[in-house]
């Protein structure tokens, strides 16, 4: 279900989180509150990049997270909010206590897949066209949403949707016009924090770690 753990060229651990790492991260965040995610791995003694730590905390370790299947009410809420906000998963997640944007996004994608499949089985020719529209709706947004172009300026596009929550149709595919941007240097996220805290790759301290203020894991 999860990627096998491995270390990249910089010695940064990727892939599935171990129980030990979870403990370290949870303890650190709970103790320090809103952390500096970039510095966290260094101080907490994790061979992860800050981004990975933040993601793990937000999507899995955060308290009051709901797990398991969605209730009918939640499903309906997601449908309604997606209709309203489009693929603004974080916005949708705000309205669903205990659910993360990642979880909702995953749910939506699998939900759309189901719809696609149902479409294909019910109608042959129309299916491909409908499927295209449904898929488009997942990568764009509803008619109420502004569309951001290359200039980053809101531009409306004409689209309509039917009574069905998922059958959107649009005049044209704006995605293609979003353009490509030159890659920004985001290497800071993956920079290792192993300078002074040179890790043994199989070792994660679980007793004590020294940082700006002493951090103890029990």
Count the Cβ atoms, other than its own, within 10 Å of residue 199: 19
Between 163 and 212, name the residue whose CB sits nearer to DNA. Answer: 212
CB of 163: closest distance to DNA in angstroms? 23
62 scored as a contact of DNA (CB under 7 A): no
| 121 lines the binding site for DNA (CB under 7 A) | no
User: Using CB under 7 A, which of 46, 47, 56, 119 touches DNA?
Assistant: 56
Does residue 180 belong to the site contacting DNA (CB under 7 A)? yes
Q: Rounded to whole angstroms, how far apart are CA atoms 56 and 54?
A: 5
101 part of the interface to DNA, by CB under 7 A: yes
Least Å distance, CB 92 to DNA, is 8
**Residue 176, interface with DNA (CB under 7 A)?**
no
Q: Does the protein bind DNA through residue 139 (CB under 7 A)?
A: yes
177 binds DNA (CB under 7 A): no
Interface residue list for DNA (CB under 7 A): 1-4, 8, 13-17, 35-39, 50-52, 54-56, 59-60, 67, 69, 87-91, 101-103, 105-107, 109-110, 113-114, 117, 138-139, 148, 152, 180-181, 183-184, 186, 188-190
């Amino acid at each position: 279900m999860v990627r096998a753990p491995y270390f990249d060229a910089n010695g940064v651990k990727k892939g599935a989180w171990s129980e030990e790492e979870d403990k370290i991260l949870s303890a650190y965040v709970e103790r320090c509150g809103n952390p500096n995610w970039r510095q966290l791995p260094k101080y907490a003694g994790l061979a992860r990049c800050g981004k990975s730590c933040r993601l793990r905390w937000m999507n899995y370790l955060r308290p009051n997270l709901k797990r398991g299947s969605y209730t009918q009410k939640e499903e309906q809420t997601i449908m309604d909010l997606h209709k309203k906000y489009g693929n603004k998963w974080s916005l949708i997640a705000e309205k669903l206590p205990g659910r993360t944007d990642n979880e909702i996004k995953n749910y939506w994608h699998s939900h759309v897949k189901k719809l696609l499949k149902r479409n294909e089985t019910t109608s042959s020719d129309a299916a491909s066209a409908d499927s295209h529209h449904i898929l488009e709706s997942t990568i764009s947004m509803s008619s109420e949403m502004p569309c951001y172009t290359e200039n980053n300026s809101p531009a409306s596009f004409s689209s309509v949707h039917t009574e069905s929550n998922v059958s959107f149709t649009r005049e044209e595919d704006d995605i293609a016009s979003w353009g490509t941007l030159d890659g920004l240097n985001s290497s800071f996220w993956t920079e290792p924090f192993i300078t002074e805290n040179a890790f043994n790759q199989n070792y994660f301290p679980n007793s004590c770690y020294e940082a700006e203020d002493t951090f103890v894991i029990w």
